[in-house]
Amino acid sequence: MKQTSVTTNTPCWTELGTSDPPAARAFYTELFGWQEDHSARPGDGDYTQMLVGGAPVAAITPRYAPQQPIAWTVCIAVADADATAARIKEFGGRILKDPTDAFDFGRFSVAADPSGAVFILWQGRSFKGAGVFNEPGSLGWAELLTRDPSGSLAFYPAVFGWDVAPSESYPQWRLDGRDFGGMLTMDDRFPPQVAPHWLPYFAAVDVDDTVSRAAALGGDVLMPATGTPGGRRIAVLRDPQGAAFGVYTAGAEG
């Protein structure tokens, strides 16, 4: 878990599209100690940035279409959203929303890799992305869950210039020697209806305590707190509206 700031061509932000934004804000506020900042994007409906210590860490939004799944979406910082969107199409991905200006905050596009995993391109202007990473309550890791590992290992380096730390069980994404995410192959443990997706991981002081509190707040435990060879402790949870997310031990490397 090495990301500490917004870096071009790596995850910079994450947004939750949900059926009940007020209930979601209450859940994550209790779980992570987030504070609401409704003033961050005036005129953008119920889009709410969430803060840790005054720094933006994520956003909670309503779904923008009935068919939109309740899910977290990872945003990747890019220098040029239009040029990156063109590369995505060149290498077999799809553009679900053409590059569009978001007021003066930046320019974004919604894309999917060849296997269907959705992510957002973010070309920051006045808003670059999260103000803190890898601290309790903030984003520090992004995991791609895919049924096409070989295709993903070709697509993302071609589009974003990523390197891959080779591993038979868990390849890790990195750029300029810094790892920021990984890839998990979806096997028969995953029901067929679960589509490939990106999963954000938030840092926690105590993963076991976070799991217990999430369950008490009405969430589900998809993967109990587990130790990893790298020395960190991780878990995967689902909020009461149905969005999955991960937690890991803040500051742990590996």
pLDDT for 40-81, tens place per residue?
554 456 889 999 999 999 999 999 888 899 999 999 999 999
| Stronger pLDDT, 187 or 43, i.e. the higher one | 187
Domains and CATH numbers, the chain: 11-124 (3.10.180.10), 139-249 (3.10.180.10)
Does residue 38 carry a pLDDT above 90?
no
CA dihedral sign, ordered 45, 52, 126, 99: negative
* CA 48 – CA 65 distance, rounded (Å): 18
Give the pLDDT of residue 48: 94
* CA 182 – CA 141 distance, rounded (Å): 8
Residue 242 backbone zone (phi > 0: left; psi -120 to 50: alpha; other: beta): left
Place of tokens 């061509």: 9
User: Could you give the C-alpha distances from 172 to 31, 165, 239, in angstroms and in order?
Assistant: 27, 5, 26
Question: How confident is the model over 205-250, as pLDDT tens digits?
Answer: 999 999 999 999 999 999 999 998 777 899 999 999 999 999 999 8
Predicted confidence band of residue 254 (pLDDT cuts 50, 70, 90) = very low
Residue 157: phi and psi, rounded to 5, are -60, -35
pTM across the whole model? 0.94
Predicted confidence band of residue 253 (pLDDT cuts 50, 70, 90) = low
Residue 29: phi and psi, rounded to 5, are -65, -45
Give the pLDDT of residue 1: 46
